[in-house]
Amino acid sequence: MTVAVTGLEVVSPIGLSREQHWVALLDGVSGLGPTKGFDSARLGNPISGEIAGFTPDVLPSRLLPATDRMTQLSLVTAEGAVEDSGIDVANHDPDGIGVVTSASAGGYAFGQRELQNLWSKGPKFVSTHQSYAWFYAVNTGQISIRHGYRGHSGVIVADDAGGLDAIAGAARRLDRGNHAVLTGAVDSAMCPWGRVAQTSTGLTSGHSDARRAYLPFDERASGWVHGEGGAHLVLESGSHDGYGVVLGHGATVDGAGDPASAGLVRAITTALRTAGRVPADVDVVFADAAGVRDRDCSEAAALVEVFGAHTVPVTAPKAATGRMGTGSAALDVATALLSIRDQIIPPTVNVTPDPGLGINLHARPRRARLETALVLARGIGGFNSALVVGR
């Protein structure tokens, strides 16, 4: 069965729409800078990839006090993807349209505010909306309610790897009766509580220079920068005009005692096998790009094992946006489809590639013949995911 991507929309620190994001990315724009929404410097992580200029007032006013910023971003992005696809629930059976998203947690900022109310003022001051606004399934629920979709739906939680797993899960729903699925992930945890969860990993960057804070596959790498945003896509079965097709997927969990790259290698080879592709068919890899030296080395080792040294082009567009939780992988899939559409590999900004890693990392945009792209994502806890998309 052909799984076509018929619509997509993006929100990121460098663009509030797919085309705005894409043009800024190709121009080498970086969305990283000192955190403005709160004081993250006191948490040892002064740089963020924040979204500027977003106005949730395009949503119904009743939703604003009931939803976290993460959900507001997700709802607007989902609406853009639906409009882009042209799908109309009035002309389709709503029982055949589902929603499958991914989340790293839920509405962090909403939850922090209500927990502060609980402990400082008492239970009567906690919003009833807290019961779902900080729940990891909230975006799936709010999107399905807003659009009237009643098909088989769900949510995936696998840290940063979840964005790919959600898209693959949505594709499987088309084999189980749905004729369309809205999928992807949009994430935001721009608040002290969310940032503490990130910095507790010991993997975030403490650098105060935005140009030096997040440098994946660079000898100067010192950790990652936290961003917000992501992408939503509409998948439909059969032959459609659109951005491309979902071809294959692989997901693994690292085993105890395995080499650091073993789980990712298994995910890649599974994705290629299910896509009916061999390594030589892949024209570009969108890397997970942790920005942490040992994790970058293990990812590079996996790529060298599968593809050979300095062969397939590799890019890490998230160097311009930061790692946005589960939204990063979905954004990489959308970016990969735009790359295939326009036949250009986007750059990895600010990075001086380390040749010793053995990968062909592109620091500048480059024209190329692109038919097949591999997108990689890894999450804390040993999650590995690989998705193959094609023209």
Domain's final residue, options 195, 222, 237: 237
pLDDT of residue 197: 87
DSSP 204: B
Least confident of 2-11, 177-186, 238-247, 352-361: 238-247
Residues 222 and 296 in one domain: no
| Nearest by Cα to 326 from 314, 336, 315, 318 | 318
Does one domain contain both 102 and 39?
yes
Last residue of a domain, one of 177, 208, 237: 237
Q: How many residues does the chain have?
A: 391
Give the pLDDT of residue 49.
Answer: 97
pLDDT at 102: 95
Asked whether residue 264 carries a pLDDT value surpassing 90, the answer given is: yes
User: pLDDT tens digits, residue range 242-260?
Assistant: 899 999 999 999 887 777 8
- Those residues whose C-beta lies under 8 Å from the C-beta of residue 167, and which sit 6 or more positions away, are 100, 183, 184, 233, 235, 246, 249, 330, 333, 387
Sequence-distant (≥ 6) Cβ neighbours of residue 341 within 8 angstroms = 243, 244
Q: Give the pLDDT confidence of 113-167 residue by residue, as tens digits.
A: 989 999 999 999 988 888 888 888 999 999 999 999 998 899 999 889 999 999 9
- Residue where a domain terminates, one of 191, 218, 237: 237
Q: What is the CATH number of the domain that holds 366?
A: 3.40.47.10
Predicted confidence (pLDDT) at residue 310 exceeds the cutoff of 80:
yes
**Domain match, 279 and 159 both:** no
Judge whether residue 26 has pLDDT over 90.
yes
Exposed / middle / buried, residue 121 (Cβ in 10 Å: 0-12, 13-18, 19+): exposed
Give pLDDT, residue 238: 78
% the chain with pLDDT above 90: 76
| pLDDT score recorded for residue 365 | 95
338 is in which domain, residue-wise? Answer: 244-390
Look at residue 104 and tell me whether its pLDDT is greater than 90: no
Cα dihedral across residues 78, 83, 89, 92: positive or negative: negative
| C-alpha to C-alpha distance for 332 and 33, rounded to whole angstroms | 21
| The two three-digit tokens of residue 369, written as one number | 């013949």
Do 338 and 261 belong together in one domain? yes
Q: What is the pLDDT of residue 161?
A: 93
Looking at residue 198, its pLDDT comes to: 87
Q: What is the pLDDT of residue 299?
A: 96
Name the residue with tokens 């959600």: 166
Asked if residue 87 has pLDDT above 90, the reply is no
Question: Where do runs of H (alpha helix) occur along 238-292?
Answer: 262-275
**249, β-bridge pairs:** 387
In this predicted structure, what is the pLDDT of residue 33? 97
> Taking 90 as the threshold, does the pLDDT of residue 266 lie above it?
yes
Question: 179 and 109 in one domain?
Answer: yes
Residue 277: which pLDDT band, with cuts at 50, 70 and 90?
very high
- The amino acid occupying position 230 is G
Residues 133 and 264 in one domain: no
Q: Angle between the 18-26 and 327-342 helix axes, to the nearest 10 degrees?
A: 70
Q: What is the mean pLDDT of the chain?
A: 93
For residue 291, give the nearest of 271, 321, 265, 311 by alpha carbon.
Answer: 321
Q: What's this model's pTM, rounded to 2 decimal places?
A: 0.96
In a shared domain, residues 297 and 342? yes
Place of tokens 């004081």: 39
- Work out the average pLDDT over 320-337: 97
- Shortest CA distance to 27 belongs to which of 319, 343, 347, 323? 347
Q: Which helix (H) or strand (E) holds 366?
A: strand 366-367
Q: Give residue 241's pLDDT.
A: 78
Do 131 and 214 belong to one domain?
yes
Residues 224 and 259 in one domain: no
Is residue 88 over pLDDT 80? no
Six token digits for residue 129: 């909306």
What H or E segment, with its residue span, contains residue 294?
helix 293-307
Q: Given this model, what pLDDT does residue 73 score?
A: 97
* Residue 353: strand pairing partners: 218
Q: In this predicted model, which residue has the larger pLDDT, 175 or 182? A: 182
**Sign for the pseudo-dihedral over CA of 72, 74, 75, 79:** positive
**Based on the structure, what is the number of domains in the chain?**
2
pLDDT of residue 300: 97
Taking the C-alpha atoms of residue 252 and residue 378, their distance in angstroms, rounded to an integer, is 10
Note whether 96 and 229 are same-domain residues.
yes
Q: Do 229 and 248 lie in a common domain?
A: no
Same domain, 44 and 87: yes
pLDDT band at 92 (very low <50, low <70, confident <90, very high): confident
Q: Indicate whether 240 pLDDT > 80.
A: no
pLDDT-derived band at 214, boundaries 50, 70, 90: very high
